[in-house]
Structure 1
Amino acid sequence: MQEKQSHISNETWEKLLVQLVYVQANSPYYQRLFKEVGFDTHQANAFTFLNLPLTHKKNLATSNDDFIAVESQDIIEYVTTSGTLGNPVTFALNESDLQRLAINEEQSFNLVGVDKKDVVQITTTLDKRFIAGLAYFLGLRKIGAGIIRVGAGSPALQWDSIQRFKPTYLVVVPSFLIQLAKYAEANEIDIHKSSIKGAICIGEALRDENNQFNTLGKKIKSLWDLELFSTYASTEMCTAFTECKEHLGLHVPENLIFTEILDEDGEEVKPGEVGELVVTTLGVETMPLVRYATGDLVKKMKTSCDCGKGSALISSVLGRKQQLIKYKGTSIYPQQIVQLMMELPEIEEYQIQVTSNELDTDKLTIVIPKEASESLQHKLKEILKANLRVTPVLELLPLAEIKASIFPEGSRKPVRFLDLRKA
């Protein structure tokens, strides 16, 4: 195998090697993989590391327990992935991993500007095996900031907490900010006089590949002029990438994770180009990952940040590699449709579905409420065709049926995209 050109500095390689030595000594999965490909940390260098096979979500799903690198009695927390691309995968953490998680979120909140004087309202769940809510709580505890654990949903309780405790920041799924703004308007609450000055936004992209607000970001800003901070994280990485006040991209926490952004040939992309984010976790003990392909497409930013932190920057997630739809010769990602649907708030709920037709090619359908008028359907088709160059099939169903599919029992996230293609 021809070795790839290394872009890894000596300092970074030293951090990587410490983790690789730990992995080879303790992870059954990577012990087996390293042996199969002839990789030994005693002779390893940056070039041989970059030729290691990628780890994928399917490897985690089929060999879940083999990734555990500590004794079972040392595990003190179990979480699962959200299952966006399949069945949830179990992740375990020991005390050291929880401390690392706290450090990660402390760094993230520091980038935003949160300090001990602030009060932060967490509007995401801390239960249902969800790592994010736990991470925010631990990070804020480490900073010493005030915490209000409201959890997901209930605009009434959110606003009661805002008016009662005067938080300065929200941790929130950005589309929920729209619900909060609409609730405030309906209940004669002046959001512009609230104590909230910023929102740490999770789970949904606010910016496009040029780092400008996308449709969702613009919609929120038109309703509520908060300072919005984008973030990106996943259960598998146990690490968050966060915007600072300069808003030039997401900071890579290079003390906690090593990142690669790879093209279709597995080569590092150039600054300004889009590729798949591949990560190697640093300092994780229970379930360390080596060259894990996230499936998330991000842009490698050209500039370093004006804040002077010195870390690399990436864009928000622009799409998911596995969710690529080939429809009538056009490549489409669900996120593109999600952004377009924001232009039609009259459509209360919708779901994007992709299936395989009789020729085993992709059939793209958008399910909308049957209550949608013919003029609204026509307007939607025009928007889709103008922006996607093709028109998906529109299917009309009762609103209650659509909601049941979007919000299935036990799901932590709305299922806005349903992939029903043959494997």
Structure 2
Amino acid sequence: MEYLADKADNPTLTQQQKLQELLVYLSQRSPFYKDLFARHEVDIDAIRSVDDLRLLPVTTKDDLQRQNDDFLCIPRNEVAEYMSTSGTLGSPVTIALSENDLKRLAYNEYNSFVCADGSKDDVYQLMLTLDRQFMAGIAYYSGIRMLGASVVRLGPGVPALQWETIKRLKPTAIVAVPSFILKLIQFARETGIDINSTSVKKAICIGENIRNTDFSLNILGKKITDAWDIPLYSTYASTEMQTAFTECGQGRGGHYQPDLMIVELLDENNDPVGPNIPGEVTITTLGVEGMPLLRYKTGDICMYFDEPCACGNESLRLSSIIGRKKQMIKFKGTTLYPPALFDLLNEREEILDFVIEVYSNDVGLDEVLLYVVPAEETEECDHQIRAYLQARLRVSPHIKYVTAEQIQKIQFTEATRKPIKFIDKRA
């Protein structure tokens, strides 16, 4: 609880003060930012407010991938743990955390679970990996422990074991990828489990969208709640930001934690966008010692909402991810983002599971291949799937039908920490 004590001792430490402290810290300790400030002739004393951030250059994922070690601001003997990104937008990068960074990470998730109506009386079943340098797993675990609640560390997959453990240990909440919750529901149907009579009363959904940008449940979210009468709480975070946006019970966007991070949504010219306008989520970490980031562009496209939430929290909220900048697909004159394709594919009962693969054709244009597990291997099922996609997309992607076993091998490789639904093989 040391991080909480530190905060209580400094109630007047404003976001602006933390930004000024960060700039001094980076100018003294970060090889990357020392060089960046010198090349751009940055005078950190001229940055007197959060609004002045726009005077500073941005940092990109490419910077972090190319010069990973240059972001380290502490001696290696002060690194408490090394974690890494999943490599969704390129090769993975390592994020080094100090002991205080781990405490900050726990505090971040403590706030998140409190926001998601958690209490010390809850028992959380974690249906995700806690190994393979996965920050989210250790963050959830540490946050739940700070909350004083109980944890069941079961790991990902194996619906039969998940249900056996639910029956035996009676968790009140699960933390899981939404598409895996659908597999839990399917297993329950096939084996006669009455899911609405179990101990589970809520689900913290990670890694996939469950809402549209107007806060309504998307197809994936509806499929879960149509079968299982429990509230869903959406979360959004990344390894680099070491901070999460989590929904409250109102389900109207992920709440911002301004004491831990400064967030900007930027347009193509790196200028801030207004509320309800899509922009690239750009973050400045506050209170991070190991590898702090300044105006780091995440590649995620979201919108923000600044009207107060009905829960009483007046900080801004983020929408679900509209798309990732580098994952935008230009297919036969149509612009597509993977989340929109996920919604279309999740909507059809004829499609049991899928993976989207994008590659470049011989003239450098985007092509889309869908690996699909069909409900039935019949011409009628094939016709229904193709007609649906043509009607909704107005273009026809390539389709390759595979078995459930084959799709598992595509979605889960040795290095995978969560199911892969999108594969980008473009040059």
Structure 2 length as normaliser, TM-score?
0.93
Match of residue 414, structure 1, among 405, 419, 425: 419
Aligned to 1:404: 409
Equivalent positions of 1:103-118 (< 5 A) are 103-118=107-122
Aligned partners of 1:398 and 1:189: how far apart in 2? Answer: 25
Which shifted more, 270-279 or 403-412?
403-412
Aligned partners of 1:195 and 1:301: how far apart in 2? Answer: 34
Match of residue 396, structure 2, among 379, 391, 394: 391
Match of residue 192, structure 1, among 192, 196, 199: 196
Match of residue 379, structure 1, among 378, 384, 389: 384
Aligned partners of 2:402 and 2:150: how far apart in 1? Answer: 45
Shift of the alpha carbon at 1:366? 1.5
Shift of the alpha carbon at 1:353? 1.5
Aligned to 1:265: 269
Match of residue 73, structure 1, among 71, 77, 83: 77
| 3-state DSSP of counterpart to 2:351 | coil
Aligned to 2:101: 97
Relative distance call for 1:403 and 1:182 in structure 2 (3 A) is: closer
List alignment gaps of at least 5 residues for structure 1: 1-9
Shift of the alpha carbon at 1:217? 0.3
Aligned to 1:6: none
The reply on whether 1:40 has 2:43 as its aligned counterpart is yes
Aligned partners of 2:185 and 2:405: how far apart in 1? Answer: 24
| 3-state DSSP of counterpart to 1:253 | coil
Aligned to 2:33: 30
Aligned to 1:18: 21
| 3-state DSSP of counterpart to 1:273 | coil
Shift of the alpha carbon at 1:302? 4.7
The reply on whether 1:209 has 2:213 as its aligned counterpart is yes
Assess if the C-alpha contact under 8 Å between 2:54 and 2:271 holds in 1: no
Aligned to 2:252: 248
Relative distance call for 1:369 and 1:112 in structure 2 (3 A) is: closer
User: Could you list the per-position Cα deviations for residues 2-24 of structure 1 after superposition, in whole angstroms to 9, with x for gaps in the alignment?
Assistant: xxxxxxxx953222112222121
Aligned partners of 2:350 and 2:390: how far apart in 1? Answer: 19
Relative distance call for 1:107 and 1:176 in structure 2 (3 A) is: same
Aligned partners of 1:134 and 1:335: how far apart in 2? Answer: 26
Assess if the C-alpha contact under 8 Å between 2:285 and 2:292 holds in 1: yes
Aligned partners of 1:397 and 1:121: how far apart in 2? Answer: 31
**AA of the residue aligned to 1:131:** M
Aligned to 1:286: 290
Assess if the C-alpha contact under 8 Å between 1:80 and 1:90 holds in 2: yes
**AA of the residue aligned to 1:405:** I
Aligned partners of 1:198 and 1:394: how far apart in 2? Answer: 36
Equivalent positions of 1:332-371 (< 5 A) are 332-369=336-373
Shift of the alpha carbon at 1:153? 1.1
User: Could you list the per-position Cα deviations for residues 22-43 of structure 1 after superposition, in whole angstroms to 9, with x for gaps in the alignment?
Assistant: 1211111111101111113233
Assess if the C-alpha contact under 8 Å between 2:358 and 2:423 holds in 1: yes
| 3-state DSSP of counterpart to 2:82 | strand
Which shifted more, 97-106 or 373-382?
373-382
Assess if the C-alpha contact under 8 Å between 2:266 and 2:279 holds in 1: yes
Aligned to 2:326: 322
Aligned partners of 2:285 and 2:135: how far apart in 1? Answer: 16
**AA of the residue aligned to 1:17:** Q
**AA of the residue aligned to 1:311:** S
Q: Percent identity?
A: 44
Shift of the alpha carbon at 1:397? 4.9
Assess if the C-alpha contact under 8 Å between 2:31 and 2:71 holds in 1: yes
Match of residue 119, structure 1, among 114, 117, 123: 123
Cα RMSD (Å): 1.7
Assess if the C-alpha contact under 8 Å between 2:210 and 2:221 holds in 1: yes
Assess if the C-alpha contact under 8 Å between 1:104 and 1:139 holds in 2: yes
Question: Which 4+ stretches in 1 moved above 6 angstroms?
Answer: none
Assess if the C-alpha contact under 8 Å between 2:159 and 2:187 holds in 1: yes
Equivalent residue pairs, number = 413
Aligned partners of 1:396 and 1:123: how far apart in 2? Answer: 28
User: Could you list the per-position Cα deviations for residues 83-110 of structure 1 after superposition, in whole angstroms to 9, with x for gaps in the alignment?
Assistant: 1122211111110000000110010011
Aligned to 2:229: 225
The reply on whether 1:140 has 2:147 as its aligned counterpart is no
| 3-state DSSP of counterpart to 2:305 | coil
Aligned partners of 2:70 and 2:62: how far apart in 1? Answer: 13
**AA of the residue aligned to 1:108:** S
Which shifted more, 399-408 or 35-44?
399-408
Aligned partners of 1:116 and 1:132: how far apart in 2? Answer: 20
Aligned partners of 1:408 and 1:69: how far apart in 2? Answer: 33
Assess if the C-alpha contact under 8 Å between 1:30 and 1:67 holds in 2: yes
Relative distance call for 1:416 and 1:372 in structure 2 (3 A) is: farther
Shift of the alpha carbon at 1:320? 0.7
Assess if the C-alpha contact under 8 Å between 2:219 and 2:343 holds in 1: yes
Assess if the C-alpha contact under 8 Å between 1:324 and 1:331 holds in 2: yes
User: Could you list the per-position Cα deviations for residues 47-78 of structure 1 after superposition, in whole angstroms to 9, with x for gaps in the alignment?
Assistant: 55313221111111110111110010011111
Assess if the C-alpha contact under 8 Å between 1:68 and 1:287 holds in 2: yes
List alignment gaps of at least 5 residues for structure 2: 1-12
Aligned partners of 1:63 and 1:284: how far apart in 2? Answer: 18
